[in-house]
């Protein structure tokens, strides 16, 4: 049995991705760190759509927690493997760089970039030997493509994730594994609720924030068999807001 793992899958874009990926017909593993209730709600919504889901809590910035969680999952699923990985978990700790603390820098880098490294490396051990290969989809950001003031840490992490996507895609392509990134702009989620939406909408050609479901639709396509010849790409979804 093949499974899908979505990190940060309990809310926002992660939840929308989980719900959209039900269409692939594979069981979905919802990763979360602390909000158990939100994860349970996502699981219930998946089941209402006719899908199957299970919860797998761990902090993506912790190599030890990842190793323990994946090892335990593999012990209880000896004949299964995770064939689709969506690296969605991320945090913002915005500040001007001259005021930015070590903690604000390290928290963002550890969650977005180190989390991608620790988890993807671990899952590739079982994904690469499989004849059917797999899909790795990294949720980047407009901030990593364009760079946004007040987000030097976030822009650095997401830009590095884009570079890693392009490099890893070339490494694993012979094993039928594709690696792509999706770079959302301003999307209506908890992460953007503190931003000045009315001011920012004036900068966006389509005149609005995007919806999590619109990002999820791209992720679902990249996870499907229809996207088997697409790898190393960064798909922007930002309403026309480019560099």
Spatial strand order of the sheet with 234-237 comes to: 53-57, 28-32, 2-6, 81-87, 134-139, 177-184, 234-237
**CA gyration radius for the chain?**
17
Q: Is 154 a catalytic residue?
A: yes
H-assigned helices in 22-147: 36-48, 63-76, 102-109, 115-127, 142-146
Rounded to 5°, angle at Cα 28 from 22 and 30: 120
Phi first, then psi, for residue 210 (nearest 5°) are: -80, 170
Instruction: Please identify which of the residues 3, 81, 154, 229 carries the catalytic annotation.
Output: 154
198: its two tokens:
């009315």
Query: Is 143:238 a contact under the CB 8 Å cutoff?
Result: no
Residues 6 or more apart in contact with residue 50 via CB below 8 angstroms? 22
C-alpha 237/C-alpha 152 separation (Å) is 21
Query: Is 6:30 a contact under the CB 8 Å cutoff?
Result: yes
Residues 6 or more apart in contact with residue 196 via CB below 8 angstroms? none
User: What residue has token string 């992460």?
Assistant: 191
Hey, which residues are catalytic here? 154
């Amino acid at each position: 049995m093949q499974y899908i793992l979505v990190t940060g899958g309990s809310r926002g874009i992660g939840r929308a991705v989980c719900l959209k990926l039900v269409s692939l017909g594979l069981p979905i593993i919802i990763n979360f760190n602390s909000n158990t209730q939100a994860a349970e709600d996502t699981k219930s919504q998946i089941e209402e759509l006719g899908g199957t889901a299970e919860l797998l809590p761990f902090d993506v910035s912790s190599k030890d927690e990842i190793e323990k969680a994946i090892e335990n999952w593999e012990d209880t699923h000896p004949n299964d493997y995770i064939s689709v990985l969506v690296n969605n978990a991320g945090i913002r700790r915005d500040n001007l760089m001259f005021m930015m603390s070590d903690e604000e820098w390290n928290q963002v880098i550890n969650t977005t970039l180190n989390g991608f490294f620790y988890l993807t490396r671990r899952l590739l051990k079982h994904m690469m030997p499989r004849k059917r290969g797999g899909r790795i989809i990294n949720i980047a950001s407009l901030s990593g493509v364009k760079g946004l003031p007040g987000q030097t840490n976030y822009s650095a992490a997401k830009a590095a994730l884009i570079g890693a996507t392009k490099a890893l895609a070339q490494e694993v392509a012979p094993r039928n594994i594709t690696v792509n990134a999706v770079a959302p702009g301003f999307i209506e989620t908890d992460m953007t609720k503190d931003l000045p939406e009315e001011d920012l909408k004036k900068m966006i050609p389509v005149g609005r924030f995007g919806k999590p479901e619109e990002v999820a639709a791209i992720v679902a396509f990249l996870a499907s068999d229809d996207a088997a010849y697409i790898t190393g790409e960064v798909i922007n979804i930002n309403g026309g807001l480019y560099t």
